[in-house]
Structure 1
């Protein structure tokens, strides 16, 4: 592997409202087990806490989480609280609301607008915070998000939330939200082989809004992780630089614009340092041409 700088600051910074964050952050979804949510084997708690603390030591100041990130034995928010509280002054914790799970971990009907306060308060309780830095409304198939986003705007006005964002959204949903309150970020699935959100990527760039892609490493594996057979184009670029395919995937995502914030997640300390080193990987124009040529519909 090449000896590139291992720092979350190597890719530069961006603003989430009045909050400055390094462009490489940390996603908490996979902290609770080897597969998403309540499936799979729980990770070693002490090791995960060590990964979180190491991430902050290496400059991560943007952590993405949610109260519905839990398994039978682990809660992402509880792990973050245990590892990082009292929180560093510059640490920005972004959460999501909208989806709902019961105590057994089964998905239930998404939250109504009047139920979002309860979800916000649950995140506050688990994280041990008086207010949440950023709350994203995760759209669950709604054509209009105005009523839900309006409920969150009221909670922002009440001082429970500092900034608002949206997730799994299209430009029309962004316009609906902006008619109610400022939007500081959009979280959508996006990566080399998952580019359905390209229009939103460009819309956010034009408006100076952070675009926060998820599943950038997992690709089609989504919540299950990077279970796919890696594409030859990505392997070729990785071999040329002496780095991992995951690092190539993240470097490509970061290259899509200064407004792009990566949030790779892992419970493995070696994967953590590899992910953070992506900010120092300089892809050549030839590399980008090879990666851009990937047919997203192909296996």
Structure 2
């Protein structure tokens, strides 16, 4: 989402970031139609196609420009979802999207129609796995009665644990949980306890926030965004951090955390 796509040096830097991520072992990259109206998908295809066998590009649909205002709005009508999948296939240069996520549930369209359309697209071979984003545990349960759900992408981080019930449901069912905004926009470093743990581990607060997520559950797969290679490398280094039980307990019980 953070990668500039306009022609020029910034785009070249974006291409380099994407390629470096794969070189460093990243096996999942998250994008969406909303990220530039497909421009981010095209950028990733330019950078990485043909994709390595181990790399999964996941994209999201269900948000569209309003014909009246030109603003982004939720749109989960079956015809719109089908059109967005077809366009994503072309932009990503693939015959099948390995993981397709519904960006948001459109309250103006029955959930069964939205998830049912994704199920039909899966049965037609255009989608391999289906995911949801920003859902409640109840919505996840409803969707799972219609089709198998492979992933959930909700806002979740060390300082924002509103969706603990959703993560717990994913953990119980073996569903991948992809927290977006996983480092709280870098705000975790303002907490003294986080800064203290970072100092103990000779790490950055961002790395501590990511390590906490990775330690939270085996189904958690953080998707931190960046437009710089140094930030990318900092984020990936968090995988090598090991929190002690005492450090984990201190982070679990941060003052003011939910």
Name the TM-score, length of structure 2 as normaliser. Answer: 0.91
* Correspondences of 1:196-275 after superposition (within 5 Å): 196-217=162-183, 219=184, 225-226=185-186, 230-275=190-235
Q: Which moved more, 1:243-252 or 1:229-238?
A: 229-238
Other-structure match for 2:76: 111
Distance, in Å, in 1 between the alignment partners of 2:93 and 2:21 is 20
Q: Structure 1 86/141 Cα, relative in aligned 2: closer, same or farther at 3 Å? A: closer
* Correspondences of 1:119-268 after superposition (within 5 Å): 119-140=84-105, 142=107, 145-217=111-183, 219=184, 225-226=185-186, 230-268=190-228
Is the 1:32–1:70 contact (alpha carbons within 8 Å) kept by the matching residues of 2? no
Quote the offset at 1:106 in angstroms.
Answer: 2.9
Other-structure match for 1:6: none
Quote the offset at 1:140 in angstroms.
Answer: 4.0
RCO comparison, higher one (Cα < 8 Å, 6+): 1
The 3-state SS of whatever aligns with 1:32 is: coil
Q: Which protein is richer in helix relative to its size?
A: 2
Name segments (4+ residues, structure 1) moved above 4 Å: 102-105
Deviations 1:210-260 (A, max 9, x none): 11111111x2xxxxx436872111111111111111101000011111111
Quote the offset at 1:152 in angstroms.
Answer: 0.8
Quote the offset at 1:150 in angstroms.
Answer: 0.4
Q: Does 1:30 align with 2:17?
A: no
Q: Does 1:58 align with 2:18?
A: no
Q: Structure 1 106/32 Cα, relative in aligned 2: closer, same or farther at 3 Å? A: farther
The 3-state SS of whatever aligns with 2:65 is: coil
Distance, in Å, in 1 between the alignment partners of 2:32 and 2:100 is 9
Is the 2:105–2:135 contact (alpha carbons within 8 Å) kept by the matching residues of 1? no
Alpha-carbon RMSD? 2.4
Is the 2:116–2:146 contact (alpha carbons within 8 Å) kept by the matching residues of 1? yes
The 3-state SS of whatever aligns with 2:79 is: helix
Distance, in Å, in 2 between the alignment partners of 1:226 and 1:78 is 28
Q: Which runs of 5+ in 1 are unaligned?
A: 1-28, 220-224
Distance, in Å, in 2 between the alignment partners of 1:177 and 1:95 is 18
Other-structure match for 1:285: 245
Distance, in Å, in 1 between the alignment partners of 2:232 and 2:120 is 37
Is the 2:99–2:131 contact (alpha carbons within 8 Å) kept by the matching residues of 1? yes
Quote the offset at 1:135 in angstroms.
Answer: 0.6
The 3-state SS of whatever aligns with 1:123 is: helix
Q: Structure 1 261/82 Cα, relative in aligned 2: closer, same or farther at 3 Å? A: same
Tell me the number of residue pairs that the alignment of Structure 1 and Structure 2 aligns. Answer: 255
Quote the offset at 1:146 in angstroms.
Answer: 1.7
Q: Which runs of 5+ in 2 are unaligned?
A: none
Is the 1:77–1:126 contact (alpha carbons within 8 Å) kept by the matching residues of 2? yes
